[in-house]
Amino acid sequence: MLKRRPYLITFLTAFGLIIAPFVLPHLGFAPNTVNRILVWGLFGIGFDILFGFTGLLSFGQSAFYGTGGFVAAYLLTRAGFPHVVTAIFIGAIAAAVVGYLVGLLALRRTGIYFCMITIAISEVFFFVEFNPLSEWTGGENGLPGVPAPSFDLGFIKMSFTSGWTLYQFLAVCYFVGIVIALRIVRSPVGAILSAIRDNPLRASAVGHDIHGYKLTAFVIAAAYAGFAGGLLGMMQGFMPPDAFMFDTSGQLVMQSAIGGIGTLFGPLLGAAVWLFLQDFLQVALDLGAAWKLVLGVVFVLLVVFLRRGLIGGIADLYNLAFGKKTAPAEESPEMDVAVDAADEPDVAPMPPHRRAPEGYNGPILKAIGLTKHYGGLAANSDIDFTVNYGELRGIIGPNGAGKSTFFKMLTCEVVPTAGKIVFEGNDITGKNVTDVCQLGLTKSYQVNQLFTHLTVRENVEVAVLAEMRGKFKLDLFGNPDMIPGLNEQIAHTLAMVNLIGRADTPVSALAYGEKRRLEIGLALANSPSLLLLDEPLAGMSPRERAETVKLLKSISKGRTMIVIDHDMDALFELAERVTVLQEGRVLVEGTPAEIKNNEAVQQAYLGGLKEVA
């Protein structure tokens, strides 16, 4: 939603901020309430990038809010620093630096561990502010006397003291904040952050350094928090110590969830609802301290029934009212026609972009003595395996033969217990899956690993970005459309896996066969020189199988591929050579004809015929 019509959203934001002082007083909002809403909204933009876009729920944002606020307030009061805006920026930078250090620790873990660590860290900041640092921070008294911003332009002196004059200053800050956030969200980094939220495993497997990007999101969130903290002190003329309290983090989380996460504007709306209800319940209904209970109940109900918050609810209502149906889950008849039309793929093959190292003319992949033990269980033992350039190798073997473990070792998802893997002359043993992907070795998974909340096109885009930008690049304000060749390669990949007609469909609305093709497309998108396919035909109907075999043939032009599958007819048709694994060892290797007639293979698959006879 935020990605389309970029100028419209910017324009509407500016328009809304300009007319707010004329409209909101009639709705019962005092100017100071509106100013607080803006500060919360700005605080929430960073949090939304972290939680809504990257999927990292932090309950510790108060640490950065307080850090930024106290650094700015200290500079402006005790240190006598004269420039208000500069001080606030210094506060934001300090918060970002602290965020970087905290992120290094907190991001060692994911999920609930991450949540627990952020809570613990923010609690530490609260105590540090109160005790060891109380000489600088004023302890429980906070820092009073924070000046309001004023600018001397020579001919006119503008000062923004309170009420609607201060609003002008805060509105400009919010506007700049939202414009920057919109750029980040639409940048290549933004696309990768969403991919990390949906499927971190796959995001790293298509070649992105997800730790670096998570840390980036964490630092961005900390910088926004620090900036908002500085504004808080300035707005109140006093930097309160309770900025550091857990309640601050909790209120931010609740406001964002009420407004709607993943929308950037959700925290602003949530803050408006929160502060309005607080005033309304306390004053108009005379509920006293019970206002927070009412808000707590509202919050629980929203999480239970309207998980995308108010903005999500409004969007759903809009779609319901104007009959915008989501795409059907099953392939419509037209799609079948499209598939038929593509029976003869006329798409040009997509040769790998990378070249083998100069002067190297050995095999593309060589595994020596590869062994993997899980406790006492030997999944793979002493496998020697060589694949030459341009080959299409098949791997078969009964269930539990260790085929998938073997693939995982080749792509460095699993560290081998012993042995060595050499890819294009480089020893890749012990590297990680991201680096190996960047070298040009990718895999499509046995069980689909897609970015489920993104569209087909966005899925492929995430994978192509990894090739075009490398594993980590901070083009936070970049425009994906400006990356040369990106759109062409996305279109080409979609054409190869025959999903052009579904490019703007969300993955959740795809049929199973289409998801399988997208799975292959993700591995293919960054034009690997060696492509591994783990059971690409699994779960497909006979017709889909036939189409996929055709697809695999066209992909294999100019590329080396290794395919695991149980469908032997398909594999014998595809592969030039076949390796048979049994009980973690190489049983035999040869051409399809040799394998078909090999007694040991027949024995392995049909099991001791002689004994029965």
Partner 1 sequence: MINWANFVSQAFNGLVLGALLALISSGLTIIYGTLGVLNLAHGAMFMLGGYAGYVAYNYTGSFIVAVAVGALFVMLVGVVMERVIIRHFYSRPPEDQLLVTFGISICMVEIVRFFFGSLSQTVPAPAVFSGITSLGFMFYPTYRLALVGIIAIALLVLFLVLYRTRIGMIVRAGIEDSLMVDSLGINVYRIFMLVFGIGAMAAGFAGIVNAPVVSITPDMGESILVQTFVVVVIGGVGSFPGAVIGGLIAGEIISLTSMVNPGYAYVMLFAAMTVVLVLRPYGLLGTQGRE
Could you say which of 73, 95, 119, 562 contacts partner 1 (CB under 8 A)?
Answer: 119
Cα–Cα dist 505/509, whole Å: 7
Q: Which of 257, 540 has the CB closer to partner 1?
A: 257
Q: Looking at 27, 112, 156, 377, which residue binds partner 1 (CB under 8 A)?
A: 112
CB 120 to partner 1: min, Å: 5
Q: Specify the residue, 127 or 318, whose C-beta has the smaller distance to partner 1.
A: 127
Out of 5, 83, 109, 596, point to the residue binding partner 1 (CB under 8 A): 109
Interface pick for partner 1 out of 19, 86, 131, 485 (rule CB under 8 A):
131
Antiparallel, parallel or unpaired: β 377-387 and 238-239: unpaired
Closest CA to 252 of 492, 244, 288: 244
Residue 413 binds partner 1, judged by CB under 8 A: no
Interface stretch with partner 1, choices 228-236, 290-298, 431-439, 568-576 (CB under 8 A) = 290-298
Of 98 and 561, which has the nearer Cβ to partner 1? 98
Instruction: Kindly tell me which residue out of 130, 238, 280, 389 binds partner 1, with binding defined by CB under 8 A.
Output: 130
- Binds partner 1 by CB under 8 A, chosen from 14, 97, 128, 368: 128
- Collapsing DSSP states into helix, strand and coil, what is residue 108? coil
Task: List binders of partner 1 among 349-408 (CB under 8 A).
Answer: none
| Crossing angle of helices 62-76 and 246-259, rounded to 10° | 120
Q: Is 606 in the site for partner 1 (CB under 8 A)?
A: no
Strands 157-159 and 150-152, sheet pairing: antiparallel
* Helix or strand run (H / E) with residue 318: helix 309-321
Which residues are within 8 A (CB) of 360 and not within 5 positions of it... i.e. 6 or more apart?
424, 425
> Can you say whether the dihedral through the CA atoms of 24, 29, 31, 32 is positive or negative?
negative
Q: Rounded to the nearest 5 degrees, what angle is found at the Cα of 300, between the Cα atoms of 295 and 304?
A: 145
CB 521 within 8 A of CB 434: no
Minimal distance, residue 325 CB to partner 1, in Å: 24
CB of 506 to partner 1, least distance (A): 17
Options 128-136, 448-456, 526-534, 556-564: segment touching partner 1 (CB under 8 A): 128-136
19-78 residues in contact with partner 1 (CB under 8 A) are 51, 55, 57, 59
Judged by CB under 8 A, which of 5, 307, 355, 543 binds partner 1? Answer: 307
The H or E element spanning position 464 is: helix 456-469
Of 110, 417, 508, 598, the one binding partner 1 by CB under 8 A: 110
Instruction: Determine how many CB atoms are found less than 10 A away from the CB of residue 143.
Output: 21
Nearer to partner 1, 119 or 223 (CB): 119
For tokens 């998108």, name the residue.
Answer: 525
> Which residue is associated with the tokens 């990718």?
442
The region of 87-95, 163-171, 293-301, 427-435 touching partner 1 under the rule CB under 8 A is: 293-301
The count of chain residues that interact with partner 1, using the rule CB under 8 A, is: 41
- With vertex at residue 107, the alpha carbon angle to CA 104 and CA 108, rounded to the nearest 5 degrees, is 90
Q: Which stretch binds partner 1 (CB under 8 A): 253-261, 467-475, 504-512, 529-537?
A: 253-261
Instruction: Note the helical H segments in 25-144.
Output: 31-48, 62-76, 84-106, 111-130, 134-137
Residues 518/450, Cβ–Cβ less than 8 Å? yes
Q: How far is the CB of 116 from partner 1 (least distance, A)?
A: 4
Rounded to whole angstroms, the Cα distance separating 171 from 173 reads 5
Confirm or reject binding of residue 117 to partner 1 (CB under 8 A): yes
- Cβ 373 to partner 1, closest distance in Å? 16
- Is 285 a binder of partner 1 (CB under 8 A)? no
Q: How far is the CB of 57 from partner 1 (least distance, A)?
A: 5
Our finding on whether 253 is near partner 1 (CB under 8 A) is yes
Our finding on whether 108 is near partner 1 (CB under 8 A) is yes
CA distance 568 to 317: 50
For the CB of residue 52, give the shortest distance to partner 1 in the complex, in Å.
10
- Which stretch in 105-113, 176-184, 354-362, 443-451 sits in contact with partner 1 by CB under 8 A? 105-113
Among 105, 176, 283, 415, binds partner 1 (CB under 8 A): 105
Count the helix, strand and coil residues of the chain and give each as a percent rounded to the nearest 5: 60, 10, 30
Is 432 an interacting residue with respect to partner 1 (CB under 8 A)? no
Burial of 507 from C-beta contacts in 10 A (0-12 / 13-18 / 19+): buried
The piece of 32-40, 102-110, 524-532, 550-558 that touches partner 1 (CB under 8 A) is: 102-110
* Backbone φ, ψ for residue 39 (5° rounding): -65, -45
Angle, CA 55 vertex, CA 124 and CA 412 arms, to 5°: 100
Which of 354, 360, 357, 389 minimizes the C-alpha distance to 560?
Answer: 389
111 scored as a contact of partner 1 (CB under 8 A): yes
Nearest to partner 1 of 132, 349 (CB atom)? 132
φ/ψ of 369, rounded to 5, equals 60, 35
Element (H, E) at 377: strand 377-387
Neighbour count for residue 254 (Cβ, 10 Å)? 20
Question: Looking at beta carbons only, is 309 or 397 nearer to partner 1?
Answer: 309
Among 293, 314, 320, 600, binds partner 1 (CB under 8 A): 293
Of 288 and 484, which CB lies nearer to partner 1 in the complex structure?
288
Closest CB to partner 1 among 309 and 440?
Answer: 309
**Beta carbon of residue 288, minimum distance to partner 1 (angstroms, whole number):** 9
Longest dimension (CA), the chain: 107
275 lies in the binding site for partner 1 (CB under 8 A) = no
- Establish if 292 lies at the interface with partner 1 (CB under 8 A): yes
Stretch of 204-212, 246-254, 560-568, 604-612 lying at the interface with partner 1 (CB under 8 A): 246-254
Q: How far is CA 313 from CA 215, 260, 386, 394, in A?
A: 31, 8, 56, 50
The token duo for 180 is 């920057």
The one among 11, 15, 127, 477 contacting partner 1 by CB under 8 A: 127
Task: For the chain, report the end-to-end CA distance as a whole number of angstroms.
Answer: 67
CA distance linking residue 517 with residue 342, whole number of Å: 14
What DSSP designation does 80 have? -
Region binding partner 1 by CB under 8 A among candidate stretches 113-121, 319-327, 356-364, 467-475: 113-121
Applying CB under 8 A, the residues found at the interface with partner 1 are 51, 55, 57, 59, 105, 108-113, 115-117, 119-121, 123-124, 127-128, 130-132, 246, 250, 253-254, 257, 289-290, 292-293, 295-297, 299-300, 303-304, 307
